[in-house]
Structure 1
């Protein structure tokens, strides 16, 4: 059963975006919500169907999470501290530090923050209209799913409309 979209938006996505304080928050909010709607149907599953490595409602792969840190956040200590502020003590690794990979599946706020970072790193500006679902879908395809990914713009738009309303 999916997560209630209004609750996800108001209790998770909006507070995370406010805490990160990055530009284009209205567009980012709809893009993140659309990503959750498409990637997991708002939480119908939290592990990639078919045995792939993607985790959480945004279906981020651990390799993508590590890339966000190694090639971006590790060079931006203030932003990294904001993102890491969403980490929970559990699940943890053997050394007691938070298990970031596992928290993609278990921690909605942390996963939303990483989803926003993924989009923030994209080389092109986000669409200017937060209500242009086709523009959001095209941006998702290019910078989140990637041109080689199996997802389509049409699927994103259909899932956005189904789970979030048109």
Structure 2
């Protein structure tokens, strides 16, 4: 996460590479995919990619909204994000195949939100931010699940 966020950093993106953002993204990936699922499996018969892609389980509509309504107005940052993508496959598919690109898009979901990040080390606080911004009130995820995923999948390696 750190190298990706360092590549996003610039005068036009203050704080994008904060330590708290690294923790929040690690917790997001741990909860959303268990740090292993690159595709959202909807049933035993599911043989298609999606509806959410990658370790961060980002939906194409969210990806497109980041580009259309946030990065469109920040060309320098958009250029740094685009530099993380490969020529192939499509950018939606790269949410599952290009970790740096997926991490950048996930960071931007949080970065464009007015909800402040929790302090570094405040995992319950990160869980609350995840719920408000990433999962939303309508989502099925719970902050305690985020904390459990962090404790099981991230904490042992910190």
Give the TM-score of the pair, scaled to structure 2.
Answer: 0.88
Determine the structure 2 residue equivalent to 1:110: 101
Determine the structure 1 residue equivalent to 2:18: 25
Determine the structure 2 residue equivalent to 1:85: 83
1:122 aligns with 2:113: yes
**Residue segments in structure 1 that go unaligned for 5+ positions in a row:** 1-12, 92-98
Deviations 1:85-142 (A, max 9, x none): 1011121xxxxxxx11010011000000001111101112111x21111000000000
Determine the structure 1 residue equivalent to 2:147: 157
Determine the structure 1 residue equivalent to 2:133: 143
1:47 aligns with 2:6: no
Deviations 1:8-56 (A, max 9, x none): xxxxx1101111114061000000000011001112x111121651000
**Residue segments in structure 2 that go unaligned for 5+ positions in a row:** none
Determine the structure 2 residue equivalent to 1:9: none
Structure 1: how far apart are the matches of 2:87 and 2:68? 21
Q: 2:3 aligns with which of 11, 15, 20?
A: 15
Give the TM-score of the pair, scaled to structure 1.
Answer: 0.84
Q: Runs (4+) of structure 1 moved beyond 2 Å?
A: none
C-alpha RMSD of the superposition: 1.2
Q: 2:69 aligns with which of 58, 66, 71?
A: 71
Structure 2: how far apart are the matches of 1:136 and 1:86? 25
Match of 1:165, SS state, is helix
